[in-house]
Amino acid sequence: MRSSINKYPITSFVVINYLISWTFLYPCYQLIMNAEDGEFPLLALIGFIGAYGPSIAALIIVGTQNGVKGIKDLFRKFLIWKVKPLWYISILILPLFIYGLSIALVAGNTVIGDPDYWAFWKSIAPFYLLALPFGPLGEELGWRGYLLPELLKKYDIWQSSFILGIIWTVWHTASFTFPGAAIPSVLEVSLWTLFLYLLNILSETLLMTYFFLKTKGSVLIAVILHASFNACSNIILTAVPQIENNVEVREQVYIVNIAITLLVSVILLAKEAANRKVNVDNIN
């Protein structure tokens, strides 16, 4: 196993990651769905192991290659917090703004009426706190802490983001069996919604690559941005609950949100890629 990891570290990371996550997430979801109404089977807590699959896999790969020092270096990426306040403000606000704009463009005042702003403000902290342990904290040490830096050693910004986005999408395979765990719960799992989900993950990956590059590879920033993506729809929908179960509107909002996120991501990342090329050319 050690020789395989040393020879094919990225492939080994993906395989170990998938095995850990799928092994524990799928039975977790089945236990919850088959439980009596109002009951939560404690055995389903094994899902936490699966949710932390990316981070566990990263620790296995880094530990095998570089020992305790490598593991310490990986965890230190959580401690990269001294970045401009603008980046913290941006990662907290941008996903909320884009999702809110998507609803405004699709539904407009004729459908959503007057938003409940108090419900919006008081829901922000709870939804962010709820989002943290069920994705961001379990995944980002793997995705942005380990995988993205390794990909950037071999590929450019765009290729690295695309590869990571594909791997991240496939990683959610077990979650497609549980409504709302990946694809919004109001939408059925189909080839169409899987395609939309792929585009959604790719757009988010591009934006996360941009912030990763601008914040010295901070895993902390990646965790907060990931939580922002996960929480934004729930927060906004508390202000406009009348569209929460409107399948047609929610699907349109989902599509528009993906399109805007993708547009913003491509513009920002293209600018960053151009700046990096100029800097390299100046050195040469």
**Residue ranges per structural domain of the chain:** 76-283
Measured distance CA(66)–CA(253) in Å, rounded: 45
pTM of the model: 0.94
> What integer pLDDT is reported at residue 108 of this predicted model?
77
- Flag whether pLDDT at 269 surpasses 80: yes
**Residues whose CB is less than 8 angstroms from the CB of residue 81 and which lie 6 or more positions away in sequence, other chains included:** 218, 220
Kindly state the DSSP code that residue 153 receives in the 8-state scheme. Answer: T
> Per-residue pLDDT for 283 more than 60?
no
Structure-block tokens of residue 118: 């108090």
- The least confident of 1-10, 22-31, 70-79, 197-206 is 1-10
Residues 181/163, Cβ–Cβ less than 8 Å: no
Residues 6+ apart with CB under 8 A from 214: 83, 87, 272
Burial of 15 (0-12, 13-18, 19+ CB in 10 A): middle
* Residues constituting the chain: 284
Q: Is the pLDDT of residue 37 over 90?
A: no
Average pLDDT over the chain, rounded to an integer: 93
Whether the predicted pLDDT of 167 surpasses 70 = yes
Residue-wise pLDDT for 202-249, tens only, equals: 999 999 999 999 999 999 999 999 999 999 999 999 999 989 899 999
First to last CA, the chain: 41
In the chain, how long is the greatest CA-to-CA distance?
Answer: 66
**Comparing 146 with 277, which gets the higher pLDDT?**
146
Which two structure tokens, joined as six digits, stand for 113? 């009426």
Tens of pLDDT along 77-93?
A: 999 999 999 999 999 99
Percent of the chain beyond pLDDT 90? 86
Residues 50-67: pLDDT tens digits? Answer: 999 999 999 999 999 999
Question: Which residue in 166, 134, 128 sits closest to 147, CA to CA?
Answer: 166
User: 3-state DSSP call for residue 83?
Assistant: coil
Q: What is the pLDDT of residues 98-113, one digit of tens each?
A: 999 999 999 876 677 7
pLDDT class of 282 with cuts at 50, 70, 90: very low
For residue 205, what are its two tokens? Answer: 């990956």
